[in-house]
């Protein structure tokens, strides 16, 4: 089958998305000029391309960037940002305050509900999303009730990873704990094993 009679169906999607080489495009367009069936097919592919683009969902947007920015700054490679001398002093003071607050927080090990992600953990971990209307007091009470500690998050979609005081191998206990979390539907909207 030569170029004049072969239907270039394998190239039509790439004619429609505008990525064929000049030689391929010329070959396909020459065929289309003489082939009504392929012109119709190209019309379908154009409609399909528009449909595929419209069907895609937007990403996490600004929340995703903020999450990434936190990670960049924890990454150990200093971002290249120029700061005047007074800002450096203010930054040093803020950092000192953060270190102090962190030390105080970690010292209250008896009732803490947050544990840094890098710290050694042993309990089973679940994914949990809180209701937007849930108060800090409700969240704290819930975590304390199930022996839970936040070990990561929130992710871009507001999901936290929460470590429970349950042996990961004890599937029955874990299932019961998840059921009790799900029952708290005034505070949480989503609970799933990690």
Partner 1 sequence: MTADPHQAWLDAIAAGDEAAMRRFYETYAGAVYAFALRRLDEPAEAADLLHDVMLEVWRKAAGYQGRSRVRTWLLGIAHHRILDRLRALGRARRREDPEADAAAHPDERGNTLAAVAGAGDARQVRRCLDGLPAIHRQVMHLAFYQELSYPEIAAVLGCPSGTVKTRMMHARRAMKRCLEAAGLGA
List residues binding partner 1 (CB under 8 A): 7, 9-11, 13-14, 16-20, 35, 37-38, 40-41, 43-45, 47-61, 64-65, 67-69, 71-72, 75, 77-81, 127, 155-157, 159
Q: How far is the CB of 73 from partner 1 (least distance, A)?
A: 8
Q: Given the complex with partner 1, which of 18 and 169 has the nearer CB atom?
A: 18
**Beta carbon of residue 82, minimum distance to partner 1 (angstroms, whole number):** 11
Q: Which residues pair with residue 152 across a beta bridge?
A: 161
Rounded Cα–Cα distance for residues 17 and 76 (Å): 41
Cβ at position 43, least distance to partner 1 in Å: 7
Cα within 13 Å of Cα(15), Cβ side:
23
Q: How far is the CB of 48 from partner 1 (least distance, A)?
A: 5
| Residue closer to partner 1 (CB basis): 159 or 173 | 159
Measured from the CB atom, the residue of 68 and 141 that comes closer to partner 1 is 68
SS3 109: coil
Residue closer to partner 1, measured from CB, 56 or 111: 56
Least separation in angstroms between CB 110 and partner 1: 32
DSSP track, 5-38: TS--TTTHHHHHTT-S-HHHHHHHHHHHHH-HHH
Compute the Cα dihedral for 42, 46, 49, 51 and give only its sign.
Answer: negative
Judging by DSSP bridges, how do beta strands 125-130 and 149-152 pair with one another? unpaired
Burial of 190 by CB count in 10 Å (0-12 exposed, 13-18 middle, 19+ buried)? middle
User: Judged by CB, which is closer to partner 1: 53, or 108?
Assistant: 53
């Amino acid at each position: 089958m030569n170029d004049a009679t072969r239907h270039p169906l394998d190239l039509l999607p790439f004619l429609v998305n505008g990525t064929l080489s000049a030689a391929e495009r010329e070959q396909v367009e020459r065929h289309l000029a003489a082939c009504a069936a392929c012109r119709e097919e190209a019309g379908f592919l154009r409609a399909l391309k528009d449909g595929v683009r419209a069907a895609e969902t937007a990403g996490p947007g600004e929340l995703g960037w903020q999450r990434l920015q936190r990670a960049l700054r924890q990454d150990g490679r200093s971002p290249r940002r120029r700061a005047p001398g007074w800002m450096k002093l203010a930054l040093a003071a803020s950092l000192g305050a953060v270190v102090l607050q962190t030390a105080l927080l970690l010292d209250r090990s008896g009732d803490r509900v947050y544990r840094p992600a890098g710290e050694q953990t042993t309990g089973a971990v679940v994914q949990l999303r809180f209701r937007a209307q849930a108060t800090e007091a409700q969240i704290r009470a819930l975590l304390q009730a199930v022996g839970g500690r936040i070990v990561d998050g929130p992710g871009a979609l507001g999901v936290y990873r929460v470590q429970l005081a349950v042996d990961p191998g004890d599937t029955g206990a874990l299932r019961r704990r998840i059921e009790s979390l799900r029952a708290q539907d005034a505070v949480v909207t989503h609970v799933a094993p990690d």
